[in-house]
Structure 1
Amino acid sequence: MNEKINNIILCFDNSDLSLQASEAALDIAVALGSEVVGVHAYNAFMHEGAFRIMEPTLPEAYQKEEILQKQRTVHSTLINVGMEKISLSYLKPVEDSFQSAGVSFRPKVVEGKNYSVINAVLREEDGDLVMIGSSGFNGNGTGFIGSVCSRVLRNNDKNFLIVRKHIDLRQPKFVVCLDGSSSSINALKMADLFAGKFGAGIHLVYGFDSELHKNLFMRLKESVINREGFSFNSKQQEKIHDEFIDKGLARVGNMILDKAEKEVIDAEHRAQSTDIGKGWGLVGEIDRAPFVKKVLEGHIYKRICDYASEINADMIFIGRNGRHFSEGMDIGSVTENVVRFAPCSIFVSQSEKYKGWEL
């Protein structure tokens, strides 16, 4: 995975969240030296279809076919020309703000179904980061993700920053979700890159759900204990199983967090020290806040979201898929639910084929 953000694709529809996304994109582009493409899609065909549906409601004088055809032509021209001009007007103040900050910004206005247009642009532009609001004009509270955001996220295996609210990048707090998978390692590397530029405090978290394993064990116990001739000390086995699972999963989590600290966080700090010792230094680097390691027990997506709320996190970094990734999987269930229920914005890192760390 490319660990630099050279090109950002900003999806913009002039909604409040897309305005928040454009502000964050500007901060990130300035810090990382990125170029930005601003994309807006408008669906003229949808409006033409709506006009056709309403034709029977027009006064009788307009019901003649030649008059209807003339109205269709006029309406089509107005819609296509008007919506293109409106779309360009949406992007103009955004373009001005980026250019004023010395950031290369290229507006791109395309007619078509919103998510389909964005998918096509992402294939053409091959950006390193896609920034999009979690919803457009129809946001509907906790757990709601707009259809465009959902479809674009599912159809494109890229780095995404999904904006749920204003992102304060003045010494922010980042929650980085780790399970040792390749995607989570990518998320950690991206968080480390951002932390170096914005002086962020990093909270490394590993989550496990012991209740899931206990419930599976109970179902297994109930299915075998009634078999004729089967000897099974259920209470003793249950105690051994629970202790093994609880302590074992917590131990695995601590091993992953320690490895993250050693191989990514400490390695980056050593590289900085070496560069500074050579007299070069790192331009634009800010002193980082201390980082925290935390093992979370419970329903994984919920514990991640709850923890982010507890510390008032500004962003959650998470891999697209975990260790259970298989070919054809678009997004992991934990990641999908974090995207839906997170109290802050979410960075979803692209997946990779290898399984990740060996502990």
Structure 2
Amino acid sequence: MVDGPADGADTDTDTGAGTGTGAGTGTGTGTGTRERTPTRVTLRSDLRASTVDGLIALIVTGAVFALLYARIRSRASSTATVMPFMADDPGGFWMYFLSQAFGWSALLWAWGTVVLGLLLSGARPAWLRIPAPRLERLHRTTSLNTIALIVAHALFFAAELINHDTDSWYGSTWTAFVESFVPGGYASGTGRIAIPVGQAALYLAIPLGLLFYVRHRIGARAWRVMHRFVIVVYVLSVWHTLLYGTNVWYDGWFRTSVWLLQLPIAALFLARLLRPARRSQRLAAPGAHPGSKAGWSLRLTGRLLAAGTLAVLLAVLITGRDGGRAEPPADTSSTHNHD
């Protein structure tokens, strides 16, 4: 989802490698310090560093799978209302529940990645004691694992479609590929909107995340501009979940939890805009910066939108009107029940 240091980082070096300021850049002039060679962060090094975080993500995914499976067996999950045939034979649809579990852990890891990115790109809070280099490394590793979790979510969804398709193996594989990965290929119910939204999140997350590792080729300024669109990926992921997550279709604590998790994101995003790390991003008087009337208007609009989003989230949580369905639909059949 998001990779790399804060938006303010223009260098190609890992700040944890001793570059920048302070004791890590001694000149060797009798002070006893040694000069360090700047080390460029590579995809390979971050993949190695992401192992522990990835194992934790798999453990969380397994726990979520167990919870979803237990809820569908007891018919406590709203998935049993939407697709009752799954509750009749939960063992036959384990790949669907695993896909859901990967989707939930992907959303949780995306949430953590965005929070870390916002903490790094704005003014550092006084209470945040973790060194910036460590936060930056964690930001990158959670980003890589988020991409992996999203891909796993999509692959298991496609595998479930293949498993319950009575067509030939190549016919069912092609159909599952189109419905899972081709925008507009899924033509059933809510999925006509929700699936393309999820596909957009996937296809934006991969390049936006990996561009960090070639930012020295495209330029730091270009990378920073593209990096800001990561918040769009996160919004699409949440939208996809609320639209298509069968266990959050109806009012309840699952759906409320999704809305509740957005409060810190909105608050940090507003704080990031109100107290930007870069002087050029501050909301000075119109015309204070060269040719900046349009830029000033854009910065003001961004702050108003962030404040409005925070107000809407608070209103949703206070009133309880979060767009959830109040009662089961009359028809709970599924076009993918091929048995």
Which TM-score band (shorter chain)? under 0.3
Higher helix fraction: Structure 1 or Structure 2? 2
Structure showing the higher strand proportion among its residues? 1
Q: Tell which structure's C-alpha radius of gyration is larger.
A: 1
TM-score by length of 1: 0.25
TM-score (norm 2): 0.26
